[in-house]
Amino acid sequence: MLLTNLNAATMRDHYGLIEDAAILIEDGRIAWVGPRAEAPSGMHGINCQGRLVTPGLIDCHTHLVYGGNRAHEFEMRLGGIAYADIAKSGGGIASTVRATRTQSEGELVASALKRLDALLAEGITTVEIKSGYGLDERTELKMLRVVRELDKLRPVDVAATYLGAHAIPPEFHNDREGYVKLICEQVIPAVVKFRLADAVDAFCEKIAFTVEETARVFEAARAHGLRIKLHAEQLSNLGGAKMAASFNALSVDHIEYLDDSGVEAIAKSGTVAVLLPGAFYYLREKQAPPVAALRHHGVPMAIATDLNPGSSPIHSILTTMNMACVLFGLRPDEALRGVTVNGARALGLNDRGMIVPGMKADLAIWDAERPGDLCYPIGYNPLTAVIKNGKTVRGTLS
């Protein structure tokens, strides 16, 4: 497949834009990219009519498999009740846990597909999905089986993350030690045995797990060959990001309260900072992530929807990119890098996120002139077509 007459945002550096470009795809990979005048001869090219082509987008942090609905909590928060107070009274994550435990795998697949389809309609070709709404072995494994099934049902690569350390389940309310032991000694080995996850995540926060408890979970994950991610410094600064950096974590996510020493630690470890403006928006937070410090230390910044039933029910990666610019002050090129090359890095994937030879031919084709146009509007989707592994899976190319 030879695509011609396009503007290619290769993402090599900033946008890495090549105007009036061509892209050659062979065996599901990018074989060549460059000016159209230098394209390989002797091939029939598909005219993209001057459209913008980017790497397929990557949503590196979602919780889109769950049961139930928490719209009533949205109303409570608007009425002045804090997210932490709702969680302490049995709402929040615990509410979704109760609903998810009662649903079958088939029911969870059906509801998750609707959410996944909304993401795919905006050019997503790789998505990460976490468990964390079971908090017992049976339901956590059920959720992860659903995640693996979604990978088979849609033209998208799905990275699965075990998030058992999301909250203390009610049956362990008076036995935190027992629950951490269950995660480390029983569930993580089962997750690895059945090949249900690629990484382990945890929620290190005052309303969730301490730094010490989280470190024990990460020790078990590392011992079983699983990569590490962390919800860190979202509501306070406990030092979780620095601890995660000591484990060479793939990413630390949220990080609104990350301090300078934490930024320096993740810069040294090569850990990606994943910014989640949807949760910041829905929880009406006031303290934004330390974007200037992250830039100064050269920390790669990714962006994700954090699609979940409570604090970020956002089904639009394009809206998330806009929010990252408006709420956090990112430049449009940083936002696009956040859902391409840096989104891939946050998942430990080095074969996608850029349009360069050797990379997977995962491409999104847009009815747009410039890469920055993707961050500008809200509620407008200029996607024309998606190519996944070298094959057109959405839209048509003439």
Which is nearest to 183 in space by CA: 153, 162, 199, 205? 162
CA angle 205, 58, 390 (to 5 degrees): 155
pLDDT of residue 88: 78
Lookup: tokens for 276: 């989640």
Instruction: Give kind and range of the element (H or E) at residue 203.
Output: strand 199-204
pLDDT of residue 82: 85
Which residue positions in the chain have pLDDT lower than 70? Answer: none
pLDDT of residue 364: 98
Classify domain 2-55+354-394 by CATH architecture: Roll (2.30)
d(CA 212, CA 225): 20
d(CA 393, CA 148): 20
d(CA 310, CA 307): 9
**DSSP assigned state of 226:** -
Q: For residue 34, give every residue at least 6 positions away whose Cβ sits within 8 Å of its Cβ, in sequence order, or none.
A: 18, 21, 22
Task: State the CB neighbour count (10 A cutoff) for residue 329.
Answer: 13
In tens, the pLDDT along 226-245 reads 999 999 999 999 999 999 99
Classify domain 57-346 by CATH architecture: Alpha-Beta Barrel (3.20)
d(CA 215, CA 364): 39
d(CA 57, CA 155): 13
d(CA 162, CA 213): 16
CA distances in angstroms from 244 to 14, 84, 233, 240, 254, listed in the order given? 28, 23, 11, 6, 13
Contact 340/353 with Cβ under 8 angstroms? yes
pLDDT of residue 77: 85
Tell me the average pLDDT of the chain: 96
Dihedral angle, C-alpha 329, 334, 340, 341, nearest 10 °: -130
Which is nearest to 204 in space by CA: 174, 167, 171, 173? 167
Give residue limits of the domains in the chain.
Answer: 2-55+354-394, 57-346
pLDDT of residue 397: 86
What global pTM score does this model have?
0.97
pLDDT of residue 239: 98
d(CA 257, CA 237): 5
Q: For residue 39, give every residue at least 6 positions away whose Cβ sits within 8 Å of its Cβ, in sequence order, or none.
A: 2, 4, 22, 24, 32, 45
Which is nearest to 39 in space by CA: 8, 3, 15? 3
Q: Count of residues for the chain?
A: 398
